[in-house]
């Protein structure tokens, strides 16, 4: 009898109040505002936030070209941070106050040398907005659960993202008043013979009211025990399907003992694009290195990564493989990709070269075609900034269209035309 094998795999996610995620949200809110004014807007905006004892600062920098009046960048930045929960300097930042929160804007127009290569009038002439390689991935790990079915996503990443989305819901609703916007999660999943079987460890960090310990006579130990049990009940065992926890799991919360006010931008500076692995597949698949947030869809860092996920998910749903990773690469100003490669990690029902051929025929990889097929000129990007860009249900408002399955694409993958 063959000896069974096991291993552990870990993914992380961060809440919307994490300093880097504040920046992603502000940058994507600006993208949405620009696309609302002009669907053909060109946007590449970075954000930096930092809190200090005497106040805080939000710095906006980048390039925007659009037909129409530019949106009020400062107002967008303040409103986005305030909506996340940063309306009190004592917790890390008060984005609503011009007196103690400055906004510095350094946004210019796009370089003419870039625009001449990407602003074509049709699908053939619109080139990629930059060089680089992008990856898309899909698998069947989430298909064991009613709550997760249809996502075709790595289970550790799916569960880590559910935890931070749960933290965000608690923050927005005020359900637990002492919880603050800043937080992180990490989930370790145990695999047996190559398949995920249970959660081994859950790690959660959540900022909390500095005065919370006074409810326990000033005891930090009692405070920590209370926070841990509240996180167990209201976050972990609320967000993770029971079957993943039935073997027992280790929970570690605020492992230094406390995560008290002030947190957020006060405790760490935030910058757009520093959570790209958490945004994608939690480390289960490769990443090309380019951030998604702050970029309009002419940037292939964003649109081609979405297109690659869309195609990989169709390969798995079509039954051609249990796991599929697609790499696509571009050169600036050129519409056709310079390469496309499919890797099914030995799970394909046919060779990877044949699946690659079918993927090339079933999907149009020119940037303008991806934008058209997925309707990416809509202002749908703020919602992607928190909780992950992939493995989330598409909405009637047009969010996450790269998660939607099209039966005609399935048919083309399963029954390709004879060349």
pLDDT in tens, 3-37: 568 999 999 999 999 999 999 999 999 999 999 99
Nearest to 77 by CA among 45, 109, 54, 55: 45
Confidence of residue 1 (pLDDT cuts 50, 70, 90): very low
Cβ-in-10-Å burial (0-12, 13-18, 19+) of 171 comes to: buried
In which residue ranges of the chain is CATH 3.30.300.10 found? Answer: 6-15+154-263, 19-118
Annotated catalytic residue, options 12, 24, 32, 46: 46
To the query of whether residue 184 is one of the catalytic residues in this protein, the response is yes
pLDDT at residue 85 is higher than 90: yes
Q: 3-class DSSP state for residue 17?
A: coil
pLDDT at residue 215 is higher than 90: yes
Helices (H), 92-219: 112-118, 155-173
Annotated catalytic residue, options 268, 354, 364, 373: 268
To the query of whether residue 383 is one of the catalytic residues in this protein, the response is no
To the query of whether residue 122 is one of the catalytic residues in this protein, the response is no
Query: Could you tell me which residues are beta bridge partners of residue 7?
Result: 191
- Report yes or no on whether pTM surpasses 0.85: yes
CA 331 to chain centre: 25
State mean pLDDT over 355-373: 97
pLDDT at residue 207 is higher than 60: yes
Tally of CA atoms within 13 A in the half-sphere of 388 that contains its CB:
32
Helices (H), 198-261: 220-231, 237-239
Percent of the residues in the chain that have a pLDDT greater than 70, as a whole number: 95
Question: Out of 3.40.50.150, 3.40.50.1220, 3.20.20.140, 3.30.300.10, which CATH number does the structure's domain 6-15+154-263 have?
Answer: 3.30.300.10
**Domain 19-118 classified CATH 3.30.300.10?**
yes
State mean pLDDT over 142-154: 95
**Positive or negative, the Cα torsion across 258, 260, 264, 269?**
negative
């Amino acid at each position: 009898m063959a000896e069974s094998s096991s291993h552990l795999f870990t993914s992380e996610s961060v809440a919307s109040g994490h300093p880097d995620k504040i920046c992603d949200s502000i940058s994507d809110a600006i993208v949405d505002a620009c696309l609302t004014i002009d669907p053909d807007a060109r946007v590449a905006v970075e954000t930096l936030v930092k809190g200090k004892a005497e106040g805080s600062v939000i710095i906006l920098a980048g390039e925007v070209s659009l037909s129409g009046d530019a949106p009020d960048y400062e107002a967008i930045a303040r409103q986005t941070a305030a909506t996340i929960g940063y309306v009190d300097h004592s917790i890390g930042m008060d984005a609503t106050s011009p007196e103690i929160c400055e906004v510095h804007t350094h946004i210019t127009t796009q370089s003419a040398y870039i625009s001449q290569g990407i602003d074509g009038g049709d699908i053939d002439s619109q080139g990629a907005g930059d060089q680089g390689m992008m990856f898309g991935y899909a698998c069947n790990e989430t298909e064991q659960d009613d709550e997760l079915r249809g996502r075709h996503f790595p289970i550790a990443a799916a569960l880590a993202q559910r935890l931070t989305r749960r933290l965000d819901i608690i923050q927005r609703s005020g359900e637990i008043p002492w919880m603050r916007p800043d937080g992180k999660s990490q989930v370790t999943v145990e695999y047996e013979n190559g398949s995920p079987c249970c959660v081994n460890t859950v790690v959660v960090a959540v900022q909390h009211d500095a005065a919370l310990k006074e409810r326990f006579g000033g005891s930090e130990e009692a405070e920590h025990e209370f926070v841990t049990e509240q996180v167990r009940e209201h976050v972990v065992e609320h967000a993770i399907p029971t079957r993943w926890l039935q073997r027992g799991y280790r929970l570690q919360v605020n492992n230094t003992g406390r995560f008290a006010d002030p947190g957020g931008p006060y405790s760490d500076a935030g910058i757009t694009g520093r959570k790209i692995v958490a945004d994608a597949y939690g480390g289960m698949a490769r990443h090309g290195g380019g951030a998604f947030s702050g970029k309009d869809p002419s940037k292939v860092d964003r649109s081609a990564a979405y297109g690659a996920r869309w195609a990989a998910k169709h390969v798995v749903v079509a039954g051609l493989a249990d796991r599929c990773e697609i790499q696509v690469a571009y050169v600036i100003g050129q519409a056709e990709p310079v390469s496309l490669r499919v890797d099914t990690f030995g799970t394909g029902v046919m060779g990877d070269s044949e699946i690659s051929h079918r993927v090339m025929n079933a999907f149009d990889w020119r940037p303008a075609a991806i934008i058209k097929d997925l309707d990416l000129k809509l202002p749908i990007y703020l919602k992607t900034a928190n909780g992950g860009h992939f493995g989330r249900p598409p909405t009637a408002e047009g969010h996450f269209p790269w998660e939607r399955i099209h039966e005609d694409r399935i048919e083309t993958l399963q029954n390709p035309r004879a060349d």
